[in-house]
Structure 1
Amino acid sequence: MTDKILRSISFIFHPLFMPLLGVIFYFSKTPRFIPDEVIRAKLISLSILTIILPILIYLLLNTINKVNSIYLETSKERIIPLALNCVIIIIILKRIITPTQIIELYYFFIGILISNISCLVLAIMKFKASIHIIAVSGVFMFFIVLSIHFSININGTLALMAIMLGAVATSRLHLKAHNSLELIMGFFLGVLPQLVLVNYWL
């Protein structure tokens, strides 16, 4: 029973869903006026590029035996998906989220790109940082900075995110997907880019 719950946590909080969660949160909290049709267009485009397209890429890679699991359990399996994900994020930065439109989200995705590149370099070096923790901690840091930027009280959301982060870390450890060092490295790879980039938009 415990295994099923922890596997469900790893699936529900899969890295694929985290960027869209950050964007949805931003649109729900920003005091700026953004037309509904613009929000819908951004969300649909991002859903296609950050969730549907990576799933299709995974299915293709799985078919040609380049990956064995959606969790990318070995460092070798991670290289192609991470490289392709970097390309997808660059497309998003060029076409969907530009600095002249929504600067907060632009730097949010710049941070995601830096985290992905760092994770890719480590994978090439045969070190398997936790992509789950990178994604959740990066969004967590983005939420904290947004609360400061917009002067809003989201303590409940932040507490929930902290619980989520702990649950994901526990899940990855229990399932023996990562060791403590890989989780700690994932945390810093997720948090630091978002924290450093604050200087450019806060």
Structure 2
Amino acid sequence: MQERLAKAVSYIFHPLLMPTFGFLLLMNTGFYFALISFEAKQFILLTVFAFTFVLPLISIGLMVINSRLKLDLNKSSDRILPMLTTTIFYCIAYYYLGRMPIYPIYRVVLISSALTIAILLLVSFKWKISAHLAGIGGLVGAFMALSFRLNFNGSTLLVALILVAGLIGSSRLILEKHTPMQIYAGFFTGFAVNYLFINFI
């Protein structure tokens, strides 16, 4: 039962879904850039979902079919090519969003996510780091930076995200996918990149 719950948490909070979750939160919290039309929200979310989840997932599936990669990507070396293609898709999404008359913060959040994956890619040449925790750590860092920049009290949201991070970390440990150090490293990598990038760019 415990292992099933851990697997469910890992699927629900998959790293590829974090940008979509992040954009949903941006659009439905008290930040000033939440006030955009419903049609614009739909287009942005569809763009982000397609380029940061659907297309990377399809590309990983094709790699698994045509190579020796395993679907669980347990080996750090197995993650290099999927992360590279995912970074490219993120950059394409950044380009498309740049053609829309939207708040620049959306593009900043997306490119900081792409930068996080690029760093995970470099680390993966030598070591297995938790992409799950990098994803949720990125959300925590992004919303903390936005709270400071906009003088917005986002404490409730941040507490909720930190609790989710703990849930994800526990799930990865239960499934024996990572060591505690790999989990901490993933979280703080995602947090630091997104916090610093969004706070100072």
TM exceeds 0.5?
yes
Does residue 52 in structure 1 map to residue 76 in structure 2?
A: no
Identify the residue that residue 153 of structure 1 maps to in structure 2: 153
Structure 2 unaligned runs (5+)? none
Q: CA deviation at 1:60?
A: 0.8
Alignment correspondent of 1:31: 32
Partner residue, 2:16: 16
CA 1:99/1:134 → structure 2, altered by over 3 Å: closer, same or farther? farther
Q: 1:42 to 1:68 in 2, by over 3 A?
A: same
Q: Deviations over 1:23-55 (max 9, x none)?
A: 111111232442222211111111111111122
Whole-angstrom CA distance in 2 between matches of 1:24 and 1:122: 29
* Count of aligned pairs: 198
Matches within 5 A, 1:44-123: 44-69=46-71, 71-97=72-98, 101-123=102-124
Instruction: For residues 68-87 of structure 1, give each alpha carbon's deviation from its aligned partner in whole angstroms, at most 9, with x where no partner exists.
Output: 22x42111210110000110
Q: How big is the shift at 1:98?
A: 6.3
Query: Which stretches in structure 1 are left out of the alignment for 5+ residues?
Result: none
What corresponds to 2:193 in structure 1? 193
Equivalent pairs: percent with the same residue?
22
For the 8 Å contact 2:145–2:196, the answer to whether it is kept is no
1:171, 1:97 → 2: CA distance?
A: 36
3-state secondary structure, aligned to 1:129: coil
1:43 maps to what in 2? Answer: 45
Conserved in 2, the CA contact under 8 Å of 1:138 and 1:190? Answer: yes
Contact 2:98 2:107 in 1 (8 A): yes
Query: Is the CA contact 1:98–1:106 (under 8 Å) kept in the aligned structure 2?
Result: no
SS in 2 for 1:45: helix
Map residues 112-191 of structure 1 onto 2, 5 A cutoff: 112-125=113-126, 127-191=127-191
Tell me how far 1:97 sits from its aligned partner: 4.3
Please report the RMSD computed on the Cα atoms of aligned residues, expressed in angstroms: 1.8
- CA drift at 1:144: 1.9
Which secondary structure does the structure 2 equivalent of 1:177 belong to? coil
Instruction: Tell me if structure 2 keeps the 8 A contact 1:97–1:105.
Output: no
The CA deviation at 1:175 is 1.3
Match of 1:109, as an amino acid? L
